[in-house]
Structure 1
């Protein structure tokens, strides 16, 4: 072999060694980047009443990456952190304001001022069918004092905890039922964006990481078109029978539908059964193509909701469910139990 040939082989060997060394150095960082985000669903709601300050503080202490806020409006246009349009299932409203129902017998958040809501106590969620506590092994019903929080109060709490704990936990806001609010002559999207503006989320450098999510594609399009937001937007994908919006979610989950979503959103939120279709006779998971198709469309995928006390059929435990979702390529999970990931 000529001297030039030997020199060429040595150069190739040196390059190979260098590349292998770089791969070893980078692999922990890459692995960390690929770890799915942990999004505390309504706070650490597996341990304290959902959306309460205690659930938020627990989620923060459990090192969740994000804490979720569902937002509805009060009569005086205050964005409050509640999942339901009605108060029946999650507060003691029937005891405090027994005569404030609408003709359908329900107590609507929109019929109460924020000051009136402060007289209520958040409590364990009641199942509307059975009338019993939905998750009986969680924080007991009728114990403790847990106040309804405004969006502003929850932002201040999370930003304050970020300072005292030297963390950068993000917020993950869902604008609830924008069309329903509009039919009542309320603009929930504008109300949320005013609060976000007041707390620095429209600045070039935001105080925390943030996502905005909605089941309604028109809400997300409006955020881009009218508010010119640069906040990452997440299209929540439900089931058509839930009537969350006029959108056809069956079409939205197709490859073509996801390509269309990528024109106005950065990611999607999918229900766990839309990813994990079932478990075969061999005990192995069967996945849909939604994650693969979404990634090909340039969208990230966050799945909702992981609950240790409410597992899908055929899943033996929480850790198995999470491992299977990771195997499917999920980018983040909404969970009632954020400590199960740390």
Structure 2
């Protein structure tokens, strides 16, 4: 997820008749004092390794989730997009320039959009050397390869459907791969999987296709708008700079799509002070490039 206010992105993604999303939590109606007290009842939030342990290995690669596993982290997060020939791949940007050597391998294919390359072409790219020579030869994994590795590591996943407006039908495609890799059985759905997006339409589509799957909306709607999201989302996952204790308390006063208390995972938290701050708000999860830093801060 990009470190920017999510509401502006969401507004661009939603079409006519979609939800109106105000800017930040600061516009929210203040929560009752009782809610503030609830947020102060400290619990240790889940620590989610953002794109794998991406401060220590190239993001969204198998090496990054292996590094998270090595460090003892059960939850990882990734980004899913689709190639020209319909293969789902794990990459954050909608182009391949930043995290691969695509400019060298395909110099005449600017702007190097994921959707303009077949998977056979993407499989030729080095997705590790940009990060460190130690990771030379790392590849952009398919979603199938990624899910198999997460299963092998006994990890759990927050899966982000990235820029769904570029890939009509990607929700159904994603669920198809999850089913084929064994991730839509009762155990995985109940304990190991969250599907999220900046697009409320995309989150709603996942919920409609598989109402049993836990879903999260990426953004910070005003508190007055939150009830609309509970129809199809179980989480409101906001950038950590946009939330307050009052806002977290207001989220927890509502029930999500599955009738359980609405949750909030916040991102991208890489500093100890920020981790302690949002933990004090009572967030349910912290998504971080540096899971070890957050873990240490929460133990302190």
Residue number among 61, 66, 69 corresponding to 1:57 in the alignment = 66
Shift of 1:321: 1.5
User: Distance between the aligned counterparts of 2:134 and 2:151, measured in 1?
Assistant: 30
TM-score (norm: length of structure 2)? 0.77
Secondary structure in 1 matching 2:292? helix
Q: How do residues 71-90 of structure 1 correspond to structure 2 at under 5 angstroms?
A: 71-90=80-99
Matched, 1:157 2:145: no
Distance in 2 of aligned mates of 1:58 and 1:123 = 14
State the match for 2:164 in structure 1: 178
1:301 aligns with 2:264: yes
CA contact under 8 A between 1:274 and 1:290: conserved in structure 2?
Answer: no
Q: In the TM superposition, what are the counterparts of 1:92-111 in structure 2 within 5 Å?
A: 92-101=101-110, 106-111=111-116
Structure 2 CA distance for partners of 1:108 and 1:329, relative to 1, 3 Å: same
The alpha carbon displacement at 1:332 in A equals 0.6
Report if aligned partners of 2:207, 2:232 keep a CA contact under 8 Å in 1. Answer: yes
1:93 and 1:141 map into 2 onto residues whose CA distance is 16
Query: How far is the alpha carbon of 1:209 from its aligned partner?
Result: 0.4
Task: State yes or no: 1:258 paired with 2:226.
Answer: yes
CA distance, structure 2, for counterparts of residue 200 and residue 256 of structure 1: 38
CA distance in 2, matches of 1:94, 1:205: 42
SS across alignment from 1:231 = coil
Decide whether the 8 Å contact of 1:37 with 1:65 is kept in 2: no
Q: Give the alignment partner of residue 218 of structure 2, picking from 236, 246, 250.
A: 236
Distance 1:325 1:71 in 2: 27
Q: Please list, as runs of the form range in 1=range in 2, the aligned pairs for 1:105-254 lying within 5 A after superposition.
A: 106-123=111-128, 139-140=131-132, 144-162=136-154, 169-182=155-168, 187-206=169-188, 209-225=192-208, 227-237=209-219, 252=221, 254=222
The Cα of 1:123 is off from its aligned counterpart by: 4.0
Please tell me whether residue 333 in structure 1 is matched to residue 286 in structure 2: yes
Determine the C-alpha separation between the residues in 1 that align with 2:172 and 2:137: 31
Q: Distance in 2 between matches of 1:204 and 1:143?
A: 36
| Structure 2 unmatched runs, 5+ | 1-41, 256-261
Instruction: Give yes or no for contact 1:63–1:339 (8 Å, CA) kept in 2.
Output: no
Corresponding residue SS for 2:107: coil
**Per-residue Cα deviation, 1:190-243 (whole angstroms, up to 9, x for no partner):** 110110110122222328600000111111211222x13311100100xxxxxx
Q: Deviations over 1:123-147 (max 9, x none)?
A: 477xxxxxxxxxxxxx436962211
Give the TM-score normalised by structure 1.
0.68
Larger Rg: 1
Give the structure 2 partner of residue 274 of structure 1. Answer: 242
Indicate conservation of the 8 Å contact 1:274/1:288, yes or no: no
Distance (whole Å) between structure 1 residues aligned to residue 86 and residue 267 of structure 2: 28
Q: Sort the Cα spacing of 1:198 and 1:50 in 2 relative to 1 into closer, same or farther, 3 A.
A: same
1:22-49 deviation per Cα after TM superposition (whole angstroms, max 9, x unaligned): xxxxxxxxxxx93201111000000011
Q: Which residue is 1:279 aligned to?
A: none
Instruction: Identify unmatched segments of 5+ residues in structure 1.
Output: 1-32, 126-138, 163-168, 238-248, 276-286, 308-317
Matched with 2:57 is 48
Distance 1:258 1:124, change over 3 A: farther
3-state SS, counterpart of residue 269 of structure 1: strand
Secondary structure of the residue that 1:80 maps to in structure 2?
A: strand
- Structure 2: how far apart are the matches of 1:124 and 1:322? 30
